Amino acid sequence: MKDWTFCPRCGDRTRIAGDGEDTHAECPACGFTKYDNPLPTTVGLIVDGDRILLLRRAHEPRKGEWDTVGGFLSGAETAEQNLVREGLEEIGCELRNLRFAGSYPSVYGETGLKTIGLAFVCELPPGAEIVLSEENSEYAWFPLADRPPLAFADCEAAATAFTSRTGSA
């Protein structure tokens, strides 16, 4: 919220109001209000039996850490459409059999951007060939019960909850 120094509507100086989860920027001149709402993202838990597909991030934030397929939603797509698009972009595969697994709050690396990850369990088509985009440097299948920590809190929470539900822990 500290970046909202000037009102985007009238240009006057804003002030921070509220506290805790209700903290927001407001403009005394025109009444514009900006809450610190999370940005929606998707988390794709691509599973095959008792294993999960993870990608190693090639860029910041969290370069070199393991992650899931997923990304920020555009304004004109559903979470399901976003995850299918991200699958095509990141691994060259159309994800299938998407099943909603929950929503999980997070922060995007050290950017301070709050996110809400909409997690889906999904699968690759039979015989799918993974072709990584430049966003990731490698991929690997890991046992659900013995996977590395994930780059972001929403991905970690979603994977942990799924593993607990399936009894793979």
Sequence spans of domains, the chain = 1-36, 39-166
| The token pair that represents 4 in the structure block | 């909202």
Could you give the CA distance from residue 16 to residue 38 in angstroms, rounded to a whole number?
18
CA trace torsion 73, 79, 82, 84 (10° rounding)? 160
Closest C-alpha to 138, from 58, 49, 69: 58
Q: Residue 2 pLDDT > 80, yes or no? A: no
For position 59, what pLDDT does the model report?
96
CB 73 within 8 A of CB 156: no
| The token pair that represents 60 in the structure block | 């910041």
The residue type at 22: D
Q: What percent of the chain has pLDDT over 70?
A: 99
Q: Residue 169 pLDDT > 70, yes or no? A: no
pLDDT range class, residue 36, cuts 50, 70, 90: confident
Segment 48-73 shows an average pLDDT of: 97
For position 21, what pLDDT does the model report?
78
CB 81 within 8 A of CB 67: no
Output the average pLDDT for the chain: 95
Tens-place pLDDT, residues 93-115 = 999 999 999 999 999 988 888 99
Q: Which fold has domain 39-166?
A: Nucleoside Triphosphate Pyrophosphohydrolase (3.90.79)
CB 48 within 8 A of CB 38: no
| Residue 63 CB coordination number (10 Å) | 12
DSSP state of 41: E
Its pTM surpasses 0.85: yes
166 compared with 128, residue with greater pLDDT: 128
pLDDT range class, residue 162, cuts 50, 70, 90: very high
The residue type at 12: D
Tens-place pLDDT, residues 9-27 = 999 999 999 888 788 999 9
